[in-house]
Amino acid sequence: MARKDNQTKREIKMLKTTLSDMLGIQYPIVQGGMAPWATERLCVAVSNAGALGLISSIGVGMPQAAPVALADDPNWKDKSPYELLRAVLQWATKQTAEKQGIFGVNIPLAEEFGEVVEGLLKASIDARKENEDTANRLKVIVTSAGNPAPWARLIKDSGALWFHVVPSVAHALKAEQAGADLVIASGREGGGHVAFEPVHSMVLLPAVVNAISLPVVAAGGFCDGSTLAAALSMGAVGIQMGTRFIATEDGDFPEIWRQKILTSNERGSHVGISVFGPARYLKNKISQQLHELYNKGFLEGYKEGTRIEGHGMRQLSTSTDPDECVFLGGEVAGRIEQLPTVSALIEEISNEAETVIRRLPKLVTEA
């Protein structure tokens, strides 16, 4: 019996896709960037577990607290976004050295960040050029929330793979034209920044897969093996998860946020105003205000909405009252009931996906 279990475990670990081959990772799973929050610890945990972890560059470049890599540096606030990210990438390289974990960096291209974006891109590029170990493991630059075309030459010259997050077929075509290596199709049920148009993953993913020749990763609503299997069946080469990774033991996120996810249901989120545009929040008093402002008109409510959002984000670090905070999170929060380690979660997702895929032929009857 033990031999059979070991054989099954070996077979499960062979769940490989184009994404696995592109990056040299064990599992076709990507951790979302989740700006503006820092994700250094989470990125390392995901990478060391055999999936793709991402550093949130805006969380590093515009931090609310000292990055983990500079926790002992009293002068960290005096450093530029470029210097902060360089320090974090050096730290991540060391933290993933033993297991040779593969990681990337997420850089939103929103105009609101202006020169910060260029500094973060250059920090990632220089880190690869100046450190062979970093170049071997910092394999991906993921861009989002902006037009990729102006940054194409800089990113392509870095030698890293370029993934771009898109909310529509039109945006996917633009990313392909700009020279991206892979597209992440993000449905509107996902947490955090979402598109104005409410196109969800069940429609968006196959539409993007059919429209472009690039490999596609699915995001928005994915949290377990059954949803990974569903994504693969629709032509994706893997999944990206944000909300699910917040609710783990190894992350950088406050306990009040993780508990909010555990107590949410499938109707426990809605869309409201955010600094980037619309964003999906877990429901509470503050998110209700942001939701009502959004429904009255995004431009009309933008100034007040971003003020409320900023206050709620600052409260996350200090408040014990869930109604004083804002919690970015997707509809999938309603399906999350436990706080596993990152390693256990990733292995469980892979195991379940294999089981679902093997079971599918039994669900189809002959005519």
Does the pLDDT at position 181 exceed 80?
yes
Average pLDDT of the chain? 90
Shared domain for 233 and 319, answered yes or no, is no
pLDDT in tens, 241-296: 999 999 999 888 999 999 999 999 999 999 999 988 899 999 999 999 999 999 99
β pairing state of 138-144 and 103-108: parallel
Shared domain for 188 and 277, answered yes or no, is no
pLDDT at position 2, please?
Answer: 44
Would 334 be classed as within a structural domain? no
Q: Which residue has the higher pLDDT, 33 or 53?
A: 53
The domain spanning residue 144 has which CATH number? 3.20.20.70
pLDDT at position 59, please?
Answer: 74
Would 97 be classed as within a structural domain? yes
Shared domain for 263 and 199, answered yes or no, is no
Would 331 be classed as within a structural domain? no
Would 336 be classed as within a structural domain? no
Shared domain for 240 and 299, answered yes or no, is no
β pairing state of 182-186 and 138-144: unpaired
Residue 300's pLDDT band (cuts 50, 70, 90): very high
Q: Which residue has the higher pLDDT, 81 or 63?
A: 81
Q: Which residue has the higher pLDDT, 13 or 1?
A: 13
pLDDT at position 5, please?
Answer: 44
Would 338 be classed as within a structural domain? no
Asked whether the beta carbons of 137 and 103 are under 8 A apart, the reply is: yes
Among 81, 29, 72, which residue's Cα sits nearest to residue 54?
Answer: 29
Domain extent, residue 85, equals 2-249+344-363
pLDDT at position 112, please?
Answer: 67
Shared domain for 288 and 151, answered yes or no, is no
pLDDT at position 14, please?
Answer: 62
Shared domain for 302 and 189, answered yes or no, is no
Q: How far apart are CA 71 and CA 65, in angstroms?
A: 9
Residue 62's pLDDT band (cuts 50, 70, 90): low
pLDDT at position 367, please?
Answer: 60
Share of the chain above pLDDT 90, in %: 70
pTM: 0.92
Asked whether the beta carbons of 175 and 166 are under 8 A apart, the reply is: yes
Would 290 be classed as within a structural domain? yes
Asked whether the beta carbons of 52 and 102 are under 8 A apart, the reply is: yes
3 state SS of 78? helix
Shared domain for 74 and 55, answered yes or no, is yes
Would 65 be classed as within a structural domain? yes
Does the pLDDT at position 7 exceed 80?
no
Residue 8's pLDDT band (cuts 50, 70, 90): very low
- Omega before 361 within 30 of 0, i.e. cis: no
Shared domain for 204 and 56, answered yes or no, is yes
Shared domain for 224 and 97, answered yes or no, is yes
Compute CA distances 89 → 39, 45, 131, 137, whole Å. Answer: 12, 14, 10, 10
Shared domain for 60 and 191, answered yes or no, is yes
Shared domain for 109 and 151, answered yes or no, is yes
- List all residues 6 or more positions away from 115 whose beta carbon is below 8 Å from its beta carbon: none
Task: Domain count for the chain, please give it.
Answer: 2
- Which region among 112-116, 300-304, 349-353 has the lowest average model confidence (pLDDT)? 112-116
Shared domain for 194 and 80, answered yes or no, is yes
pLDDT at position 4, please?
Answer: 44
